[in-house]
Each structure stands twice: as C-alpha cells, then as structure tokens.
Structure 1
Amino acid sequence: MASTSPPDVLKAYYVQFQKDFSLFLKCRSEELVDGGRMVLTLIGRRSDDPSSKECCYFWELLAMALSDMLVEGLIEEEKLNSFNIPMYTPSPAEVKYEVVKEGSFNIDRLEVTEVNWNAYQDETDLSDAFKDGGYNVSKCMRAVAEPLLTSYFGEEILDEVFRRYREIISDRLSKEKYEIVNVTVSLIKA
C-alpha cells in the first residue's frame, strides 16, 4: 500500500487484516484460560488514512529504490508491478473494532506510541557505526523485507537495493524526523 494506491487496494488490504486478525484472536483465545492475558504490539498508525505517511512511507522509499533499478534495467517491470508487501498497519480504532467484533477478549488497555526511525538519533556517545541513520534503518528493513525480495526478485539484487535504500533514507532523515507508530493492546480473555 502506498499513497498512490487506489481505494479498492486499500480496502482489500483492510479486509485481509480483518480476517487475519480475527483468526489470530480466535486461535490465541483457545490457548488461554479464562481471565488469561495477552499483550500485542503492532506497527500501526494514528491516522484514519491507511496509506498515510506515518505507516507506509518507509515502504514507499523502498519502492523508489526498486523503481530506480527498473529504470536501469536491473529488474523486470512485470515483476516490479506485481510485487506486493503483505502488510497492513491498523489504527487504534481498527484494532479495537476487531477485538470487540471477534469477542474472545476484553480490552484492558490500548495505547499508541512512536519510535524514531533512527533509534540512535538522540544518543550522544555513539561509535561511528551507529551514527548513520540510513544504515541503521536500512539494516532493520532488510531484516524484514529480505526474504520477500529474495523469493520474488532473487538474491543477486539485494545488496544493490539496500545500498540505494540506505542513500534514500539518509537523505530523508537529514531533512526530517520520522517515527514508526506502534499500537499496543492489553487483552483479557473473556
């Protein structure tokens, strides 16, 4: 999903989130005794817009790196056009709605917090290895996206994709501070 995604794509991702999250809650409720607790932290968003910058921007920047490689003929257009990241970042209201609708849990607490993209940005005593925010963010994203990219595009493009991604992230972080939004919910089995 991205800011340029058509409404039907956004809707499809939301419907899939509803199905997956409801099934997850149902399955977890079968594992817990009555009154048992579970705490979940999901990457989410504050905004009502599922394609807002606060939840999709780091993926859009990865798409920019891939698009640059397409222009240079390093990846195929058909593959890029059909590649999707299976991720939906829910709002607190969407998490609450699904928990209530599924019915196995009561919400004890629901909070939203932010984490700086560059976890080391505010640290003062760092070795040079941790000062490059683009490096730090691209390594974290590589841990998440590498299996998806490898299975779709092949392993041979990975180093180049993440080199470009690092440059893009470094450029953006030099101009603006970005945060990842987390939705944390504490649940009690009903």
Structure 2
Amino acid sequence: MGGRMVLTLLGRRSDDPSSKECCSIWELLAITLNDMVSEGLIEEEKLDSFNIPQYTPSPKEVRLEVQKQGSFSIDCLEVFGVNWSEIDSDFDPNVVSEDGGYHLSRCIRAVAEPLVVHHFGEEIIDEVFKRYKAQLAAHMSTENPTFVNVVISLKKIA
C-alpha cells in the first residue's frame, strides 16, 4: 500500500546531452588508456572496441521518465554538485588531500575495474589506475570539477 522512494543519480544540470559537466571523469580514463596504446602497452584494436555504457540524465529527463511511467508522483527533485576534491578529503572540507586523486581514483576503479580487466586483462590494471590517478590529480589542480547529482523523492500513486 503506497510507498516512497528516493533516488540519487549521477546526472547533469544542462538539457544538452553533450554537456561536458558529466563526462570528464571518463575522458581522463580514455586519455590514460590512449597514452598506454601509444606506448604499446595496450593494443589499439582493444581500445577502439572498449566502451563504458553510461548516461547522465538532466532533471528534466528524469521528471519526464517518471511522469511517462506513471506509477509515482514527484515530491521533490533537486540537483546538487559534489566537488571532486571533497571525495579526496573523505568529505571533510577541513582536510586537504596531499595525494590528489587518490580516493577518487579508487572510487572509479571500483566501478570500472571489472570492465577494464575483462577487456584488457588483469596484468595492466595497476598501471592503468596509477596513471589515471595522476590524470585526476593534474585535472583537479587546474580545474574545480564536480559530480552533478540528481535527487528525486517519489511517492507511489495509489
């Protein structure tokens, strides 16, 4: 009888699906893998066939999908950002990470490692994420990137 649900999705503020606000975390992994191809550590054909399926919806898209499905009403829909550096400080704004990108690279590794291992093999995985951490640290030192989260509170329609 009834019910509620709260969802948090990685998303974007913009209605433009090609917006850069959602993709740089994966672009940095692509740069890492591409560098390893140019050094002969990964086969180019393997890189060309590698894909991480991800879509980051806008608040408008989330709202439209809920309305289209029809089982829930929307109590609240909000968007907020989480600064990458906060992840690297264990979400403590008073802590400045001395090893930029460490926690964030571990977080992304938890998501991407099974895909990378399956596609490229176990033997390169440590090197991929060592280089990826360096890419993250460099990116974080010149920009202030954030993850955009879409949070929606839903109520079951009786």
In the alignment, structure 1 residue 180 sits paired with structure 2 residue 150: no
How far is the alpha carbon of 1:51 from its aligned partner?
2.7
Aligned partners of 1:133 and 1:139: how far apart in 2? 12
**Equivalent residue, structure 1, for 2:116:** 149
**Greater relative contact order structure (CA < 8 Å, 6+ sep):** 2
Aligned partners of 2:39 and 2:112: how far apart in 1? 22
The count of aligned residue pairs is 154
**Equivalent residue, structure 2, for 1:28:** none
Helix, strand or coil for the counterpart of 2:79? strand
Partner residue of 1:76 out of 43, 46, 63: 43
**Amino acid in the other structure paired with 1:82:** S
Structure in which a larger fraction of residues adopt helix? 1
The 5 Å alignment of 1:3-14 reads none
**Amino acid in the other structure paired with 1:156:** E
Partner residue of 1:131 out of 77, 92, 98: 98
**Equivalent residue, structure 2, for 1:87:** 54
Partner residue of 1:98 out of 57, 62, 65: 65
Aligned partners of 1:67 and 1:150: how far apart in 2? 16
Instruction: Provide Cα deviations, 1:115-172, integer angstroms capped at 9, x if missing partner.
Output: 011222863356xxx4322112111111111111111111111111111111111111
Mark the CA change 1:125 to 1:115 in structure 2 (over 3 Å): closer, same or farther.
closer
Q: Is the 8 A contact 1:45 1:55 kept in 2?
A: yes
**Equivalent residue, structure 1, for 2:74:** 107
Once superposed, which parts of structure 1, at least 4 consecutive aligned residues long, lie more than 2 Å away? Answer: 121-126
Aligned partners of 2:18 and 2:128: how far apart in 1? 23
**Equivalent residue, structure 1, for 2:4:** 37
Helix, strand or coil for the counterpart of 2:13? coil
Is there any run of 5+ residues in structure 2 with no aligned partner, and where? Answer: none
**Equivalent residue, structure 2, for 1:161:** 128
Q: Is the 8 A contact 1:118 1:136 kept in 2?
A: no
RMSD across aligned positions (CA): 1.5
Task: Give the TM-score normalised by the residue count of structure 1.
Answer: 0.77
Identity, % of aligned positions: 62
